[in-house]
Each structure stands twice: as C-alpha cells, then as structure tokens.
Chains A and B, each alone.
Chain A
Amino acid sequence: MNELALIVFAPLIAGALAWLIDIKGIREIIGVLGAAVPLGYAALLYQKVNGGLSFAINLGVFKLTFALNALNWFFLGIGALVGFAAILALVSTGRDSYEWLFALMSLSGVLGVFLANDLMTFFIFWEIMTFASFMMVLHYNKAASLKYFLLSVFGAYAMLIALGMIYAKLGTFDFAQIQQAMYKEAYAVAFKADTVFSKGESILIYLLFLIAFGVKAGMFPLHVWAPDAYSETNQSYAAMFSGVLSKTGVYGFIMLYLLMGTRLAIELGGFRSTTKFGYIIAFLGGLTIIVGGLLAALQEDIRKLFAYSSISQLGYILVGIGVGTALSMQAALFHALSHALFKGLFFLIVATIVYRTGKTTFADMGGLAEKMPFTFAMAFVAILSLAGIPPLVGFASKWVLFEAVISQNLPVLGGMVFFGSAIGFVYLIRFTYAVWFGQRPTDLDNVKDAPLSMAVAMAILALFNVILGIAPGLVARELNKIFGKEVIGGNLYVLDLGFGKYNALAILIYLIAGIVIAGIIYFMGAKARRVPVTDTYQSANPVTMDYNLTIRRNFFLPLKETLAFWLRISFDKLYHDIGAWIEDLAEVLRNYIYNGSVQSYAWYLAIILLILALWGV
C-alpha cells in the first residue's frame, strides 16, 4: 500500500479496531499506534516531498486521488504532530472506545483533507472529519453538538454546491485541471473575451467557498459553534479539535487562492494594495481577532477562555491570507504552525487540570503552581509563546505577520492585529492569575501532577515551541520551498525580510544573560523571604486563610460593563432564533397541509389536476 494511503487510512483502521477490541489496555496501544503511523511517515516523506507521490482509489462513483506537495506536507506535519500529541493525551482522559473510534476517524479525515488532490476527495474527507468531530461533541452535550453539526454541514453543503457548479462547467474535480481552466478564465476576463463562468457565478462560487471555509476556521459571523464545541468535548481531543481541525479551514482558503485567486483578483479588482476579495477575508479575520479576544477575557470557564482565544488566534491567520502577498501568505502558514503548537499545548494543559482537579471554572481553582510544577512549566512556555515573547515560536510568526501587514500599509488591519495581541496578553494574565497563583482552595491540596502520557504529550509540543522559536529558519526554509522563491531570508537563527531582521539566537543569549543576572541578585542580594498570601492584600489588617482574597471571579468586570452594549449583539442568539423560527414554520406547515381530512386530500388532487389542465393545455 502506498505511503499516502497508509497515512490517511491508518488512524481510521486503528480507530475501528480499537472500537471493536474494547479492552482497556489494548485499545489505547492500537490507538496510539494508529496516530503514530502518520507522524512517522510524514517525517519519512520529507525528502520525497517534490517527488510527485500520488495515490488513487477508483470507487466507481468517484475516483479518490491523493498527492503530496510542499504545501500539504507542511499541513500534514502540523496535523500529524498535534494529532499524535492529542491522541497520546487521550490515553488517560479517554472514557470509552466510542471516543477512540471517532477521535481517530477525525484525524484520518483531517489528513485526508490535507492530502486530497481533487475537490471531491477534499469534500468527502471534509465530511468524515466533520461527522467524527461532531460525534465527539455529541457524546457530551446535545445542544452544542447540534449547533456545531448544523453550521459545519451548512458550510459543507455550500462547498458542495460550489464544487458541483465547477464540475458542471468544467467536468472535472482535479485541482491541476481546475487551476489551468481558471488561468484561462482569468486571461479571458482580462481581454474581455467570453468566459465559461459568468461574473455572477464566480462571485457566487467565491462566497460559497468563503462560507464553507469560514465556518471551519471560525470566522467572525460563523464562529458561534466553536466555544461550545471546544469546551463540550473530551479536553485532550479539544487540542486536536482546535489545533488541527481549524487548520482545514485555513488550508481551504489557501486552496481558494491557488485555484481561483488570479481569476477573482482580475474579476473583482483591487482594494488599496490587496485584492478586494482578499480584503474581505482579512477584514473578517481582523473582526474575529477582536471579538475572540474580548470574549475570551470575559469568560468564567477555563475551556471557554481557550476556545475564544483559539478563534482570535485564527483571526491572525485569516488576516495573513487575506493580505495576499507571498510574505503575508508565508506569515499565515508560519502562524498556523505556531498556533497549532501553542494552542494544542494549552488545551493539553487544560485537559491535565480538568483531569486532575475535576474543576472547570476559575472560581474554584487557584494556586496550582506548587502542586503541579511540570504542568506549570509547560503552561509558562505556552503563555510566552502565545503572547509572542521573543525566544518562542509565537513571536517569530507574529513578527513576520506584523511586518507583512505593515509593509502593505494597511492601517486598519494593522490596528486590529496589534489590538489582538494586546488582548491576547490580557486573557493570559487572567488565566495565569486565576489558575496558577493566588490562594489555593482547600479541596485542591492533594492534587497530583500530570500523568505520564499527558506529560509526554505536553513535553513534545513544548519542545517544538522552543526549538522552532530559537531556530525559526527551519520553518522559513520549508515555507520558501512551498513558494519556490526566497521570501524570508536569513539562516537558521536569523529571519531577514529585507526591511527588518530578527536574530533569535542573539535575543536568546541576552535572555539567558538577563536570567543569570536576575538569579545572582535574587540569591545574593535582596533578602527574599516567603510572604504568606494573606500579607500581600489586606494592607496589614488581620485576616485569616479561609477568606478568599484572590479575585478569581469576574476578573474583568469593568471591561464587561463597558462592552455591555456590544455584548447584546450575539450571532449565537441570531442563529438560534432562525432555527426556532424554521421549526415553528415546519409545525404550522405540517398541521395545515396534513390536516387529516380525506376531503382536503382529495382537494389537493383536484388542484394538481387543475394545474395540469392549465399548464398542460
């Protein structure tokens, strides 16, 4: 069997086996093996990336074709790595074989989407991924899963209509052929010749793809499913869910650029220095950053906080894609990688906390730093990486993104991006303060640290966060290979964009130097003594330990009050009302049409005869 087929189908087969052999020990081993195979092969296939590896299954109804190129190897790497980490963590948090089957099926769906070489395979694996992840959420909560499933199937069906229109006109699903056809179309539009697709149709196809990939990437108006879906599922699966599955939306947008980019650019014309259709994506991405960030800060539940933060981080990627230059596209890809790494790490940390303490809201957590040192260290790495502190990968990707946006002098997008990273820092303070520091509630005293499997998973992701942070050149080289030309210069440790340089190694050295100096001062100089928690807050009037001193609830109450007006506009309520309205319409329709009396049914027949008589004559 060809490697590509093995990568795609290994998790699915492993999941099915794990589901059938429902024995506690064996099921985990099969599952982890199933997730390890794609990671192993992804590494192995590194040399053969441009070797034009392909694989096809003829299913009679359709031909499923897979192919490997530089772009989808990059996404394959992300998917396999974070997927493997999440499955490893699932070993301890996995409740029953039901979850093993659908977690691995969604991994297989994601890898299938990345490796697909034609639109139909892309769609089929997109549906498998949606269905599997839906079943993971259904296991926990019906309302959240129903909302998630309906929105994502709505997106999938939008894509299906666009796909069908392309197939109807061009008669093929294959990416390469569509690309050529669209190039010809672009020239035809340029020279005002007649085209296969009319202007209206190409805009319709663009909008349908925008909806389809927007839903999956959690773009602003369509993001309502993400917070419930990420929080209402097995937390270690949430790492894969937000880290990898949202990347399929990003991959979809890039596909949209590759397939129809030139056509749409010429068709719809430019806007400031980017294309009009690109700017729509970027602007919506910017809105997602702001909305996601603000809402994240106001959350009381730890899972919801990271769900919203994951949405806002995705906004960065969308802005990168929307700007549309080679540099911004590379920035988006870079940030996709770093987002997958630190978001995956964060959700694994949340999984560990929830697994150990059983609590999910900030109010009953706190002071876990002493009790869970290893997890705290991992959380520290993740916080630095998300906030964009230099030595870690988060900074490198955000820096390239900022440079890309500013170099295209797009003030509005630049403002949004900067605002986003500020807000990012805000909700991270909230998280660190409420969970790690402050006063530990009495019932959390005997909390143990992370179990081995989760610790290993977290360590892997943290390691990558650090390595790629210190040596961003590794990633830059891969990105240049995708685009074929030297967009981000510099060697292993230095990123040189021509108008800006970032020397990761130098900053690391300064950082270590700083820490050493701080260490010396700490141990030698100031008589540092442990200060009991009660001392720091009540300006020395007598207070006892059982009085809760730390502000864990409503950390950002003032922010909530200022945003009160904006918080009333919630798209979640809008979709809910639409659903309820359709259901009432269905109720009225049903009672009115099928009203039970034979005579009215006979009248329906007479009406149809009348229509035949009038229309037929």
Chain B
Amino acid sequence: MSQYASLLIALPLFGAFFIPILKRISKSAVMPFLVLVTLIQTGIAAWVFNEVYITGKPIIIMAGGFRPPIGINLYIGHFAALFVLVIAVTSLLMTIFSFKAVSVEPKDKYAMLFLLLMLGATGMISTGDIFNLFVFMEITAISAYALIAYNKTGEASEAALKYIVLGGIGSSFFLVGVALIYGSLGTLNMAHIAQLAHLVNPTVAKAGLALLIFGLAVEAEQFPLNAWAPDAYQEAPHPVTAMFSAFVVKASLYAMGRVIYILSAVEGWSSILRLLIILGTLTVIIGEMSALRQNNVKRMFAYSSIAQVGLIAVGLALGTESGVSASVFHMFNHAIVKALMFLAVGYVAVELGGTEINKFEGLGKRMPVTAFAITVGAISIIGIPLFNIFWSKMQLILAALNAQYTWMVALILGASLVEATYYIRLIHTIWFKGEGEKVKESSVLALVMLLLVALIIVIGIYPEPFWNVMQKAGSDIFNVAQYIKNVPLMGVSP
C-alpha cells in the first residue's frame, strides 16, 4: 500500500503531460486543471505525512520493484514527508495566485512548467540516489530557467542567462563529483555510499565531497555563488518567486545536508564543514548588507531570503543534531513567511503595477490586508517573540554557540540588526507615510494571506507540536546509521 506514495512523482508528471491534450479539448480548462492536480498532490502528501509520522518508519518506494542499491529508491523519511507537504501546499496557494498574477500569453506552457518545477523539488527531496538527485536537480533548474525568462522582457532573459551559466557550471562539477564517488565506490545509492564511505581513498573522498557540495551550493545560494539569485527572484513571475524562495532553494539545501551527512565518515570532512560555515556566515552578512538600500522591494526580499538561506546553511554545517533540527525548523518557518511575503509583494505589483518602494507608500490605507500581511511577515523575520521565526533563529544561535562558534554568532546577530533596519523602514513607509485611494483586494488572496498569517502566529505562540516534528525530521538527516538501517540494502557481493 505504501508504494502508492510514488504517486507523488507520477501525478504531477501525468498532469504535465496531459496539459497539451487538455489544451486541445478546452483552452480555458488549463488553470483549473492545474489547481485540481495540486489539490490532489496536497491530499496525497498529507496522507503520506501522517502515514510516516504515525508509523514512525519512513516509506521506501522501490522503482521497478528492485531493492536498492540495484534499483532506485525514494526515501520518504520524516523530513521528506514534511517538506513534500510544504511543497504541495505552497504550490496549491501559488496556483490560486497564478490566476491573477500571470497574464503573459502561453498559459498552458506556464502550467506545465509550474507542475514540473514542483515535481523537481519533490523529487530532489525524496530521492535516495545521487544521480537521481542530479536528474531532479536538473528538472528543477531547467524549469526554473524557463519560468524565470517567462516574461520575455530583456531583464528576465538576462536573469535567466545568468542562472543558466552559473547553474550549468555548478551541475557539471556536481557530475564530476558523482563520477569520482562512483569511480571509487561502484554504487550510486546514498545509503550504500554511506555504508562504504570509510573505504574511499582520502584525496578522492575530499575532492568528491567538495565538488558535490560546490554543485549544490550554487543552487542553494551560498555566498559568492548566489549572484544569480537576486536577479532571478526579481524577474521571475510572482508566484514562481514565492515558490522559489519557499521550497526550491530548500530542496537543494536539504540535498546539501543529506550529502554532507552520508559522507560524514570521509576523512577531510570537518575542514569542508568549516568552509561551509564561513560561506554561510558570509552569505548572511552580504545578503543583509545588500538589502539595506534597495528601492525595489521584491529585490530587497530576495536578498533577505538569501540571508536566511545562509543562516540555514550554517545550521546544517554545524555538525550537531541540534544544529540540524534547528535549521530544519528554520527552513519550515522561512518557507511560510517568505511564501506569504512574496505573495503579498506580488499582489501589490499586480494591483499597483510595480514593486518600487514608492508604490508601497500609504499601502496601509490602500490595501490593508496585504499591508498587514507584509508587516506580520517582516516582524516575524526580524525575530520577535510571539512569531514563528524567533524560535528557530534562537535554536540556531544556541546550537552555533554550543559548537563554540561565538564569533560567527556575533556576526550573524549583527547582520540581523541590519535586517531589522530595512524592514522597519519598510513598515514605516507602508503604514505612516503617503496617501492613496483604497484598492479593492480580491477576497480569495486576502483569505490565503490571512491563513498564512494565522499559521505564523500559531507557531509563534505554541511551537511545541511543530518542534517535535522538526526534531524527528532533523534526526532523519543527521542520524545516518538509522538511515542505512531503514533502507533495505541488498547485500551486493563486491
């Protein structure tokens, strides 16, 4: 029965392939079909979520019926179950937003690319095989290239070009890493690699791990490699940006975390981790500093999202279980908050025709619900208690201090001071500056925004149930021995 979880991959694929046929039948049925598919996907994801969290055992999907490492297996553990649900729900909300936000013509192509972006992220999170991770990473990347350039303006093409060149280099070197790992171990299944990791020759292991992490770091927006991200976030259609910052980046972050911990038996492991922590801290600082004097609010949120991603990467690279669970909790919180804020900014851009800061003056009077959503999002990102990001940021900082990285924490807190500045300036511009006549806000989107705001406040006030889920998800990544035991490896005689 549990093999039906493979519908998580089959359904969006079936939907995407079915759209060209559906387009022949009735052109206007494409978008509603998109909502239907994401709705069913959410249903399946919810079923998988409580299946995994009730039985406590991960679902292992063996494609083609062959046991790993012979066949490819999907490992839907605590983390994958949680985040597949996050992906499905965010995509559902963004399809609703796409009705209003996407006006550029070939909408059926947009729907196909939208579904495949969701598929790529879901695949990346649930796969249990390194090369399959590469394939799903490419699916996410290429559909992201297409979606970023979708608006067909000069700037959109420029942003997409940057992402293609950098993404191309990153994935090529990722493949070199896979070649090295396969060359020395002879297997591609993650659990099998984790089992045999100690047999790898030190130089190959170090180089392989470094290249794998380099490839993933380009997608996961670490400091110098994230130069494509601000442009891509700014130029992509609004629902795509929200999806991008909510889960596409998280998928590559998770992949990086998974690769780090399955190769933890490798000899040069701690030096690469320290490099990753330095990169992560630099990402936070440069991300926050660059957002300081932005007059395009969408680009400002892009930089802030990059900074939070850097914080998550630091959490992952700490090498302690509390660090990993804290970064998973931060991923979850950040996904909600950033989905809300990019939805709100997108909606403002759709209604008022642009995301420059002067469009936001007096927003409190013109679009009260959207202004309220942005304010709650901004306040929770700064890290104020009674909101959700506070708990995960606190856990991250305590975990970092536990791992004796006092200087890193001081720099990160300094950066979040900078973050507080530009968010407060935004809040002040929205509520206490400028005038404007009232704009009628669509009730559906208002409802979606209020739903997300309610979720933020609920997690902020009583984080206990969420934290238990996060700890299980964190140990799912960190505890590699358990991971190897869960995957039914066939004893392949060397």
What residues make up the interface of A, taking CB atoms closer than 8 Å to B? 58-62, 120, 124-125, 127-128, 131, 138-139, 142, 145-146, 149-150, 153-154, 157, 160-161, 164-165, 167-168, 582-583, 585-587, 589-590, 593-594, 596, 598, 600-602, 604-605, 607-609, 611-612, 615-617
Say if the beta carbon of B349 comes within 8 Å of chain A.
no
Residues of B contacting A167 with CB < 8 Å? 398, 401-402
Shortest CB–CB separation between residue A255 and chain B, in angstroms? 19
Whether A60 contacts B467 in the complex (CB less than 8 A), given A128-B386, A165-B401, comes out as: yes
Pick from B169, B231, B385, B404: contact of A605, CB below 8 A.
B169
Given A61-B467, A124-B385, A602-B169, 11 other A-B residues pairs in contact with their CB atoms under 8 A: A60-B463, A60-B466, A61-B395, A142-B424, A146-B425, A164-B402, A167-B402, A590-B293, A598-B166, A612-B275, A616-B271
> Which of the listed residues B224, B290, B391, B409 has the most CB atoms from chain A within 10 Å of its own CB?
B224
Do B225 and A605 touch (CB < 8 A)? yes
Question: Could you tell me the distance between the alpha carbons of A145 and B162 in the complex, rounded to whole angstroms?
Answer: 40
Do A587 and B292 touch (CB < 8 A)? yes
Say if the beta carbon of B27 comes within 8 Å of chain A.
no
Pick from A60, A146, A582, A590: contact of B464, CB below 8 A.
A60
Residues of B contacting A608 with CB < 8 Å? 214, 217, 224-225
Residues of A contacting B72 with CB < 8 Å? none
Question: Could you tell me the distance between the alpha carbons of A60 and B210 in the complex, rounded to whole angstroms?
Answer: 36
Do B409 and A161 touch (CB < 8 A)? yes
Whether A607 contacts B409 in the complex (CB less than 8 A), given A586-B292, A590-B289, A616-B210, comes out as: no
Residues of A contacting B4 with CB < 8 Å? none
Summarize B's interface: helix, strand, loop or mixed: helix
Do A586 and B418 touch (CB < 8 A)? yes
What is the interface size of chain B, counting residues whose CB is below 8 A from a CB of the partner? 68
> Which of the listed residues B170, B395, B413, B414 has the most CB atoms from chain A within 10 Å of its own CB?
B413
Q: Give 30 pairs: A residue, B residue, CB < 8 Å, sorted on A.
A: A58-B464, A60-B468, A120-B394, A125-B385, A138-B424, A142-B432, A150-B420, A157-B413, A157-B417, A161-B401, A161-B413, A164-B398, A167-B398, A167-B402, A168-B404, A582-B289, A586-B290, A586-B293, A587-B292, A593-B224, A598-B165, A601-B165, A602-B166, A604-B225, A605-B169, A605-B224, A612-B211, A612-B214, A615-B275, A617-B206
Do B402 and A168 touch (CB < 8 A)? yes
B window 208-229: CB within 8 A of A: 210-211, 214, 217-218, 224-225, 227-228
Residues of A contacting B410 with CB < 8 Å? 161
Whether A593 contacts B384 in the complex (CB less than 8 A), given A138-B424, A142-B428, A145-B424, comes out as: no
Do B463 and A616 touch (CB < 8 A)? no
Residues of A contacting B398 with CB < 8 Å? 164, 167-168
Specify the chain A residue showing the minimal Cβ separation from B413. A157
Contact flags B261-276 to A (C-beta < 8 A → 1, else 0): 0000000100110010
What residues make up the interface of B, taking CB atoms closer than 8 Å to A? 161-162, 165-166, 169-170, 173, 203, 206-207, 210-211, 214, 217-218, 224-225, 227-228, 230-231, 268, 271-272, 275, 286, 289-290, 292-293, 329, 379, 383-386, 390-391, 394-395, 397-398, 400-402, 404, 406, 409-410, 413-414, 416-418, 420-421, 424-425, 427-428, 432, 462-468
Do B292 and A583 touch (CB < 8 A)? yes
Pick from A60, A127, A616: contact of B385, CB below 8 A.
A127
Residues of B contacting A142 with CB < 8 Å? 424-425, 428, 432
Question: Could you tell me the distance between the alpha carbons of A401 and B34 in the complex, rounded to whole angstroms?
Answer: 74
Question: Could you tell me the distance between the alpha carbons of A127 and B170 in the complex, rounded to whole angstroms?
Answer: 41
Shortest CB–CB separation between residue A590 and chain B, in angstroms? 4
Shortest CB–CB separation between residue A196 and chain B, in angstroms? 13
Residues of B contacting A582 with CB < 8 Å? 289, 292, 418
Residues of B contacting A149 with CB < 8 Å? 420, 424
Whether A589 contacts B290 in the complex (CB less than 8 A), given A142-B428, A157-B417, A598-B161, comes out as: yes
Residues of A contacting B293 with CB < 8 Å? 583, 586-587, 590
Question: Could you tell me the distance between the alpha carbons of A125 and B275 in the complex, rounded to whole angstroms?
Answer: 36
Pick from B272, B289, B390: contact of A589, CB below 8 A.
B289
Pick from B227, B390, B464: contact of A604, CB below 8 A.
B227
Whether A161 contacts B468 in the complex (CB less than 8 A), given A127-B385, A587-B292, A598-B162, comes out as: no
Whether A607 contacts B224 in the complex (CB less than 8 A), given A586-B293, A594-B230, comes out as: yes
Do B390 and A127 touch (CB < 8 A)? yes
Shortest CB–CB separation between residue B319 and chain A, in angstroms? 15
Shortest CB–CB separation between residue B447 and chain A, in angstroms? 18
Q: Which 10 A-B pairs have the closest CB atoms?
A: A60-B464, A164-B401, A604-B224, A60-B467, A586-B289, A601-B227, A590-B290, A157-B413, A586-B292, A142-B428
Do B290 and A146 touch (CB < 8 A)? no
Whether A131 contacts B384 in the complex (CB less than 8 A), given A61-B463, A138-B424, A138-B427, comes out as: yes
